[in-house]
Structure 1
Amino acid sequence: MHSRQITWNARAGWTPVKAEPDDVSLVFYFGAREMLACGTRYGELRNMFPMAHILGCSTGGQINNADVSDDEIVAAAIRFDSTQLRLVHQDIADAQQSRSCGETIGRALSREDLAGVFVLSDGLNVNGSELVSGLVAAIGPGIPITGGLAGDGASFADTLVGGDCVPRARMVVGIGFYGSAIRIGHGSAGGWDLFGPRRQVTRSSGNVLFELDGKPALDLYEHYLGPEDSKGLPGSALLFPIQVYDARKPDSSVVRTVLAVDHESRSMTFAGDVPQGWTAQLMRGNLDRLAEGAADAARQARTGLDASEADHQFSILVSCIGRRLLMGQRVSDETEAAGVELGSDTLRVGFYSYGEISPHAKSGICGLHNQTMTVTSFAEVGA
């Protein structure tokens, strides 16, 4: 296995462009919606790497090793020596189809020698929890599933995903990795602090939250945000995610972030399920703890990779747009912290998302996370 980085910007185009494109098996690319919508960049990648699977999505910012940018497309071209790949894409009409979409992709990828799945999904029209549940139901709980929901900065207008096609809205892409040579490590961690009282989810439907402790959910958020910041919803709510958990299951806790609000019904739509009867508590960020969370995620991925330092390694970092908005100019603190754990020789690309997909650090069950740094590391052994 070998990976190399390429980038695109309006001034220089793609750099560096090298020969031997037939050696490339897989290309990941991440960029702002405005850069990807015309399809030209995908077409250029297809011409450069005619034999490769090419998948990417729109973002809330691109990760290029330790740097975070908005004005370039970041890509990684990867050659696998002994690993087979299969890519499946599926259009989705709305969030109600999320589980069936996951099941369809999972069945198409399921095989005895499947070692892992990486998923990129539309970030606004999908219930990420149900999508992952469908994937797990089809391929089994023992196969790691990682990835993320596409982003659109803090605009929440439209998100794009492409898998061997021009990126478009309402698409989910999964790629399977097969064989005994591939090694996949994964990690996910947050670093947010809980505050305020614990509240019960008294009315919800899937990923739509109506009431906490019998009171409208949107009223609670507007109380904490104040009149001025409330005008910026849903984007301003990214600074106050919620942790939800089943009080009977200590390892069930997940973080949820807001995608949309409905002022008429006083409800809030989250990236994943907020089950009725669960306990919810608001969270807020601490910059140092967020960076420590990124380091923890990278440490988990490195430890679980089961590869030697001599094996070439490549990592994808998927972090939440809420973390970037809160960290501001210090956002590189988390990418640098992850890089220290992964090692300077490990190529790292990634993006800021509307949701992260990874096995839970404690339970090991694959699920949708919000406001985390999620790291997926790849290596081939004996190759």
Structure 2
Amino acid sequence: MKIVQAFINKNKKWFYATEKVLLNNPLVLVFGERELLEESDTIDNIRAEFPYEHIVFGSSAGEIFGTTIIENSITVVAVEFEKTSFVVKTANILDYNKNTEEAAAFLSSQMPQEGLKHLLIISEGSFISGSNLIRGLQKNVNTAIPITGGLCGDGSKFEKTIVSYKENPKEGEIALIGLYGESLEVSFSTYCSFIPFGPNRIITKSEGNTVYEIDGQPALDLYKKYLGEKADEPQFTLLYPLHTIVPGKSEGVVRTILSVDNDKNAMIFADEMIQGSKVQLMMVSQDAIIEGADRAAKIAMDNRKDKPQLVFVVSCIGRKLIMAQRVEEEVEQVAEIVGKGVALAGFYSYGEISPSSKEQLCELHNETMALTLISE
């Protein structure tokens, strides 16, 4: 495996973390600030610098470039596989009247199944249902095939996200990357550092991703009453997500509040919130986030045969906002665990996709760090 990493800033100057060499038919992943990716001259510049066919673009809420977190830039990681093959398929949920599950089912039906080892997903993240995305993908893919990746971001603007393969980035797009090869080793993990606190409660009225009542009380009123002055903090919705266990499941997931509806005393979450789900408030510290990154890396490294060559990192925008000036410490912790000479690349997201463990099916997560370790 040969890897080239570079980034370009607003001044259109390229910086390389590796030797600049020409690769043979690589998979190229490009992540960057959404408004920059909408500029045609930026895209032309990327294509001129990386004159390859298989380029996947995705907007982000921050770019991960080694152990450096970059903003208002474009990062590129180009991977030439020596023994592994890959296939990229796309679908656009706007072609399906925003029916995520239907679009995802079609997408997975197009992916060749023979020899499939792993799936990487890079999806639009502004109006998609991550849970329905996973359900759709799993309709036509063996559930033993792990799926990892994330929902793209738009910084802290939350206006729109864009994704594409070969074409210029656009809204509504989902890119699915299939990895094939006997020599390919992929391990993964996800870890949330947030800790539940307070009593367990029940969602008593919800519709889609909007929660109207918890324990029979207006959801937002209850939230503000319980948090007190903390509910007036900037971006409190990202600081205090809900641990959610849907009916019929024993394991819970974290769900972030994207916004509130003061008129209806309701809260809008990053994914569907099923009525009857058990919920509990959560909180976190900066040190806990760093410890969580350490834990995620150790889980992903456990029982690997070979040292990884590439670590694909998807971390939540909420973690980034909480870490503030210490944000690089979580990726530094990952780098320390996986060892020297391993490339780290990825983005801050609006949702992380990964199995919770090697034994479980894929889930949509919020407020987590999801790692995919690849070698051949």
Q: TM-score, normalised by structure 2?
A: 0.92
Q: Is the 8 A contact 2:244 2:280 kept in 1?
A: yes
- Specify which of 350, 364, 367 is matched with residue 371 of structure 1: 367
Q: How does 1:201-216 map to 2 (within 5 A)?
A: 201-216=203-218
Other structure's SS at 1:350 match:
strand
Q: Is the 8 A contact 1:42 1:165 kept in 2?
A: no
Q: Report the equivalent of 2:84.
A: 83
Partners of 1:219 and 1:230 lie apart in 2 by 13
Q: Report the equivalent of 1:277.
A: 276
Q: Which amino acid aligns with 1:132?
A: I
State which drifts further: 277-286 or 162-171. 162-171
Partners of 2:248 and 2:88 lie apart in 1 by 38
Q: How does 1:219-258 map to 2 (within 5 A)?
A: 219-223=221-225, 230=232, 235-246=235-246, 249-250=249-250, 252-258=251-257
Other structure's SS at 2:139 match:
helix
Instruction: Give the 3 Å change call, closer, same or farther, for CA 247–128 of structure 1 in structure 2.
Output: closer
State which drifts further: 86-95 or 111-120. 86-95
Other structure's SS at 1:197 match:
strand
Q: How does 1:35-54 map to 2 (within 5 A)?
A: 35-54=36-55
The alpha carbon displacement at 1:287 in A equals 1.5
Partners of 1:298 and 1:22 lie apart in 2 by 29
Aligned residue-pair number: 374
Q: How does 1:1-383 map to 2 (within 5 A)?
A: 1-11=1-11, 13-16=13-16, 21-93=22-94, 97-223=99-225, 230=232, 235-246=235-246, 249-250=249-250, 252-303=251-302, 306-309=304-307, 313-361=309-357, 363-380=359-376
Partners of 2:9 and 2:226 lie apart in 1 by 40
Unaligned runs of 5+ in 1: none
Q: Is the 8 A contact 2:122 2:150 kept in 1?
A: yes
Q: Is the 8 A contact 1:55 1:162 kept in 2?
A: yes
Partners of 1:223 and 1:159 lie apart in 2 by 34
Q: Is the 8 A contact 2:33 2:61 kept in 1?
A: yes
Q: Which amino acid aligns with 1:82?
A: K
The alpha carbon displacement at 1:240 in A equals 0.8
The alpha carbon displacement at 1:326 in A equals 1.0
The alpha carbon displacement at 1:56 in A equals 2.7
Partners of 2:226 and 2:97 lie apart in 1 by 28
Q: Which amino acid aligns with 1:36?
A: L
State which drifts further: 13-22 or 343-352. 13-22
Partners of 2:269 and 2:374 lie apart in 1 by 30
The alpha carbon displacement at 1:152 in A equals 1.5
Other structure's SS at 2:7 match:
strand
Instruction: Give the 3 Å change call, closer, same or farther, for CA 106–203 of structure 1 in structure 2.
Output: same
Partners of 2:72 and 2:229 lie apart in 1 by 32
Partners of 2:262 and 2:112 lie apart in 1 by 42
Partners of 1:90 and 1:359 lie apart in 2 by 22
The alpha carbon displacement at 1:328 in A equals 1.1
Other structure's SS at 2:43 match:
helix
Other structure's SS at 1:21 match:
coil
Instruction: Give the 3 Å change call, closer, same or farther, for CA 223–45 of structure 1 in structure 2.
Output: same
Other structure's SS at 1:132 match:
helix
The alpha carbon displacement at 1:274 in A equals 1.9
Partners of 2:195 and 2:294 lie apart in 1 by 17
The alpha carbon displacement at 1:35 in A equals 1.6
Other structure's SS at 2:268 match:
strand
Partners of 1:50 and 1:219 lie apart in 2 by 54
Q: Is the 8 A contact 1:150 1:159 kept in 2?
A: yes
The alpha carbon displacement at 1:261 in A equals 3.1
Q: Is the 8 A contact 2:198 2:281 kept in 1?
A: yes
Q: Which amino acid aligns with 2:104?
A: G
Partners of 1:92 and 1:202 lie apart in 2 by 30
Q: Is the 8 A contact 1:95 1:125 kept in 2?
A: no
The alpha carbon displacement at 1:124 in A equals 1.3
Partners of 1:59 and 1:225 lie apart in 2 by 30
The alpha carbon displacement at 1:220 in A equals 3.0
Other structure's SS at 1:172 match:
strand
Instruction: Give the 3 Å change call, closer, same or farther, for CA 176–276 of structure 1 in structure 2.
Output: same
Q: Is the 8 A contact 1:307 1:379 kept in 2?
A: no
Q: Deviations over 1:123-177 (max 9, x none)?
A: 1110101101111122021011011111112221111212222112221111111
Partners of 2:239 and 2:228 lie apart in 1 by 13
Partners of 1:120 and 1:23 lie apart in 2 by 23
